Amino acid sequence: MYCQQDGQVTSSSTGVKLDSSSYTLSNMIKDFNLTDVFKSKNPLSPGFTWSNGGTSSRIDFLTYFSGVTPLDCSMSPVPFSDHSKLICSLDIPGLSRPCAGPSKLNVSLLAKEKIVQ
């Protein structure tokens, strides 16, 4: 378990040793010059997205690149999960209108072989 804040990977409060995926994520965010949406809108919040009741960590991220403007980002608990959900709004250049709501997969498309390939 780890927490990434301001480009730094730190151990959780339990002192669990960081694994290679923690460093890989941190390096990818730096290498691609990505910005954490939640931290950009909530710089003083630790932004923990996972908890087991005793330990909390930041393990769910939404990042953006230059040219995208974050409008808002918050967290909300999910009753059936140990993860909180991120609720974010972004201004993406070239997008003419806001999305009409959550995306849904049209499962009937999975029956079409050309689409599945």
Q: Identify whether 111 is part of a domain.
A: no
Q: Identify whether 105 is part of a domain.
A: no
Report pLDDT digits (tens) over 2-13.
444 444 445 444
Q: Identify whether 84 is part of a domain.
A: yes
Phi, psi of 98 (to 5 degrees): -65, 155
Report pLDDT digits (tens) over 65-83.
998 999 999 999 888 888 9
Tally of domains within the chain: 1
Q: Identify whether 114 is part of a domain.
A: no
Compute the C-alpha angle 96/75/25, nearest 5°. 85
Q: Identify whether 106 is part of a domain.
A: no
Q: Identify whether 108 is part of a domain.
A: no
Instruction: Return the CATH number at 51.
Output: 3.60.10.10
- Full domain range(s) for residue 44: 2-99
Q: Identify whether 89 is part of a domain.
A: yes
CB 19 within 8 Å of CB 12: no
Kindly report the number of other CB atoms within 10 A of residue 114's CB atom. 6
- Identify the DSSP state of 72: E
- CA dist 77 → 22, 48, 74 (Å): 24, 11, 10
What radius of gyration do the chain's Cα atoms show? 17
Report pLDDT digits (tens) over 8-53.
445 444 455 567 887 888 888 899 999 999 999 999 988 888 888 7
